[in-house]
Amino acid sequence: MKSDLPSVNDSEATNSTKEGESTMQKRKLGNSDLEVSTIGLGCMGMSFSYGPPKDKQEMTSLLGAAVERGITFFDTAEVYGPFLNEELVGEALAPFRKQVVIATKFGFNLSPDLDPRGMKGAPGMNSRPEQIKKAVEGSLKRLKVETIDLLYQHRVDPNVPIEDVAGAVKDLIEEGKVKHFGLSEAGVQTIRRAHAVQPVTALQSEYSLWTRTPEKEVIPTLEELGIGFVPYSPLGRGFLTGKIDENANFDSSDFRSTLPRFTPEALKANQGLINLLGTIAERKQATPAQIAIAWLLAQKPWIVPIPGTTKLHRLDENIGAVSVELTPDDLHDIDYAASKIRVQGARYPEHLEQTTGR
């Protein structure tokens, strides 16, 4: 099926709305009853990490446009801002509360003067049960909801047994303040131990054509336990759109300026992935970004990527990925070509890489 190609201005985006609505499908996260749109919307970049917070009115309009186009799954966290992103999402989605699923995260000691890139002076982890309950009270107020649909532990806290974390969330579920429990960037043993205390609905971790670490152990474990998978950065923080090359210049307020994978040398070395996506995109009458998302959707029926954007035409482009059908031959070609490409550069600086995959 021919995909939606990205619109170039707002009037064209409006014309494609009906198409977006008609093509948006639903998926269930694992064995749970949590049904969401086939792709969600990662909201972090509206307030955090990618330069200064964006215009609130523009982002409110974008969130409304996402709902109109059939997106029902929105991802935020108290650390994004901190607090600003939850406030934005809560206010913007209040008129659509019954139509949408909002996911947020806990796990840090926060203060309003946190580095907006989330990199330098990063907050200390804190998943003690009393902190979780305090965080949830704040999130409920900012999101303007009575119940949080999906609550993730943002990063595994080495100082708090995961059983205590799962137990605290279980209490919150029993109190009606939370519906579903999630983990982020957790390793398989942590997932199993948490799941034994309180069933885990979803794992959110980085997964894309240039970050395939979850394939070895994590995805088989999720399949075995019936847990959904929510890949963040499915477009490689913008790299897989094909719009970033070794000449890219990132402002100091953009956290990509600190990432090993975004040095000019690494960006140049990793262009092979872009060439691959471009070749497949031409064959399918799509864009590289759409192929990258469609590839993720083709991996498992319980995978729901959450590409982030602050632009309406990118939102439409991402939604168009749902209409791209990759055949077994297409998938074989992508995997074969990708296996020949060795991605250069670590995902995070060393001090942050240590907080992932426990």
SS3 312: helix
50, 80, 152, 232: which is the annotated catalytic residue? 80
- 17 and 4 in contact (C-beta within 8 Å)? no
CA 317 and chain centroid, separation: 16
- Whether omega for the bond prior to residue 305 falls within 30 degrees of 0, making it cis, is no
CA dihedral 276, 270, 74, 315 (to 10 degrees): -50
DSSP-based three-state secondary structure for 287: coil
Rounded Cα gap, residues 282 and 278, in angstroms: 6
Residues 244, 289 contacting (CB under 8 angstroms): no
Total H helices, total E strands in the chain: 14, 9
Question: Nearest CA to 107 among 30, 54, 164?
Answer: 164
Catalytic: 336?
no
- DSSP bridge pairs for 103: 75, 150
Distance of CA 61 to the CA centre of its chain: 20
Q: Using an 8 Å Cβ cutoff, are 37 and 70 in contact? A: yes
Catalytic (active-site) positions:
80
